[in-house]
Chains A and B, each alone.
Chain A
Amino acid sequence: MIWNPNKECMSRDEMSALQGKRLHKIVEYVYHNVPFYRNKLQEMDIRPDDIQTIEDIRKLPFTTKKDLRDNYPFGLQAAPQSEIIRVHASSGTTGNPTIVGYTRKDIGVWSECMARCLTAYGVTRDDIFSVSYGYGLFTGGLGAHYGVEHLGASVIPAGTGNTEKHLKLIRDLGITGIACTPSYALYLAETMDKLGIRKEDIKLRVGAFGAEPWTENMRHEIQERLGLKGYNLYGLSEVMGPSVSYECQMQHGSHICEDHFYPEIINPVTLEPLPSGQTGELVFTTLTKEGMPVLRYRTRDLCSLLPGTCDCGRTSVRMGRIEGRSDDMLIIRGINVFPSQVESVVLSMPEFAPRYMLIVDRINNLDTLEVQVEIRQEFFTGVFDTPAAIDQLEKKLASKLKSVLSISAKVKLKAPNTIERSQGKSAHVIDNRKL
């Protein structure tokens, strides 16, 4: 089934024409409403009328996470606050999160795109669908939720946590679809084993998995253990949230809602666009967004755009699996974590040396994060001669980390000069997860 054949199956020529028209409009819109973009375009001597076709996009400047940070909180917002009806936030690279405001129309587009995803997965009005992404500032929960409602299926806003109760609902309500991170799906399977619930006891048949990278092997294991078919769901809050792209029944690449989000692949070093099929950094331009449109936003995700048409009938371009990152962002339990966020917290506490190490692991299919810090010699005073006092110091750091990262980390205190001085950005991280 296809939710919106007019858009999803448009001829390539029509799509290009639509994208060109929308690009011109969005450039004109930000030129007049966002000083940041106006200044940038004026510096490059570009006027909105210079942008007429989608090919003209190459003339436009890139936007980065740093630009969002420098303009915290509402600097890149184009719509007046009175038009903003919702605000989400995602991790910033340092202390400040990235703030994204949505107008009523944005929420409508988001719900529409999400309904396209769900329909491609085979979800219909007859399904009972559990959204097990985090609800709140994270876009996963509410984004998927509104899509399920828009489609007309019954949404179960399960959220995360309380897995046993969730499993009881999956079994007793006959829940047929679920949206969650792939690692949470495996954790569900594990909990089922523990509770003695067999896959024959439940009716799950569709899984929308995203918010973290996963592999074909994980897909097979989840499908086998939960007895469902698992589909990729991709998105990022800076562009919209989940629904930017989605797999269809062919499960060969994820179709991009390119009438709303225009994709490019660039060489992350030279910033030159790469030919179709080559792997590089994924860049998105929002073609219809009102709240916070972005021009050529560098996602830092590395992937390729797949050439050719899809057997499902959709003509929209597909993106391959995310193969990595062009920065040091980690995805832990579906949440984006930058080592620099940990650094800013560690630096704010004089008790610790300005050195740290993140140890990431996956234990029983749940990601774990340990933050190692060194106590500074001059701060190790007689007050700390009991484990209780040291635990308190560790807890103080853990609670600050939790408020900045939105996930819990175990703090491990190390003796002075025992953490290697970092030689580069990746030297701050040991990722033991085997995907």
Chain B
Amino acid sequence: MTIHQLSIFIENRSGTLIKVLDALKEANIQIIASTIADTADYGIYRIICSEPLRACEELKKAGVAVAISEVFVISIDNKPGRAADAVKAFSKAGIDITYMYSFLNENRGLLIFRTNDNDKALQIIKENNMQAISEDALQSM
């Protein structure tokens, strides 16, 4: 139930982000959601996009340091407290969330996160009747 996320190493100087975005544009890849984890010297640009495996190959061809990470996407009501409920369930099960970001799709909130234990996370998602989004479903949004 995990989906593919692109994780891209970019240096903190002008032009590096454009290089990545241009390569995605050339390959006709659509970005669904993205976020940057920034440090003083570099950033890690995380992207959920169409055709992630092909996108990864295209970026590699362009000389970009890119890797595929497995992340979960769960759909929640766009109401106060729903994200807290989801995170609490993982926390109670002792699962660490490595990072998380979110975006809105129509009336649904979508939480994207990576954990330190994907199998256990999937179990918690099922036990709590959370609505995990598959890669196919995400692509057709």
Contact = CB atoms under 8 A, between A and B. Distances in A.
Contact of B42 (A381, A383, A413): A413
Contact of B41 (A380, A383, A413, A416): A413
B128 interface: no
Interface in B63-115: 63-70, 98-99, 114
A167 interface: no
Interface in B42-71: 42, 44, 46, 60, 63-70
Interface string A340-366: 000000000000000000000000000
Interface stretch (A31-39, A267-275, A385-393, A427-435): A385-393
B44 to A, nearest CB: 6
A417 B63 contact: yes
Residue in A383, A385, A418 whose Cβ sees the most chain B Cβ within 10 Å: A385
Nearest to B60: A377
B141 interface: no
Residue in B7, B10, B46, B66 whose Cβ sees the most chain A Cβ within 10 Å: B7
A412 interface: yes
Contact of B67 (A380, A387, A391, A417): A380
A85 interface: no
Interface in A397-420: 412-418
A387 B45 CA distance: 11
B111 to A, nearest CB: 17
Contacts, number: 59
Contacts of B98: 386
A375 B9 contact: yes
Contact of A382 (B10, B16, B70): B70
Contacts of A417: 63
A414 to B, nearest CB: 6
Interface residues of A, number: 19
A386 B5 CA distance: 13
Nearest to A381: B67
A387 B65 contact: no
A145 to B, nearest CB: 40
A384 B7 CA distance: 8
B16 A387 contact: no
A415 B67 contact: no
Contact of B9 (A383, A391, A412, A413): A413
A386 B69 CA distance: 10
Nearest to B38: A387
A385 B44 contact: yes
B14 interface: no
B60 A390 contact: no
Given A415-B9, A415-B11, A386 B37 contact: yes
Given A380-B65, A385-B44, 19 more contacts: A375-B9, A375-B65, A380-B67, A381-B67, A384-B44, A385-B7, A385-B99, A385-B114, A386-B37, A387-B42, A387-B44, A391-B39, A412-B41, A413-B41, A415-B16, A415-B65, A416-B64, A416-B65, A418-B11
Contacts of B37: 386-387
